[in-house]
Amino acid sequence: QVQLVESGGGLAQAGGSLRLSCAAAERRFSSYAMGWFRQAPGKEPEVVAAISWSAVNTYYTDSVKGRFTISRDNAKNTLDLQMNSLKPEDTAVYYCAADRTSGDVLRIRNGLYDYRGQGTQVTVSS
């Protein structure tokens, strides 16, 4: 089991920024594709962004393109999500997820992963 721990959530005003981080206790982190999901109350989980093991390939859902940036540091076993120009509709619990099967973004962008963190709440006020 891979332990993933998210941090950085909180309250922001519309138009503001937050940066989420995910720390992985896994020596094979650098070979995993990683991603961020979110789930708003009463809604299904949604893939927000994904990044390949090498960071060469990334994926963003349409609603966050141009506002969110996913990045990773394989030396530190960390995954980040920089969220700018936040909107109230970004309010959700955000989870980081790991795909050990494939190093590319395809599985995560289709909602598939092997491990997931406990999540961190992001609340955006209007």
What's the CA gap between 12 and 34, in Å, rounded?
A: 25
- Look at residue 26 and tell me whether its pLDDT is greater than 90: no
What's the CA gap between 60 and 17, in Å, rounded?
A: 17
* pLDDT class of 123 with cuts at 50, 70, 90: very high
Q: How do residues 37-47 score in pLDDT, each as one tens digit?
A: 999 999 999 99
Run of H or E including 99: strand 92-99
What's the CA gap between 41 and 83, in Å, rounded?
A: 20
Mean pLDDT for 11-30 is 95
How many other CB atoms are there within 10 angstroms of residue 27's CB atom? 9
12, 120 Cβ separation under 8 angstroms: no
Which pLDDT does position 27 carry in this prediction? 85
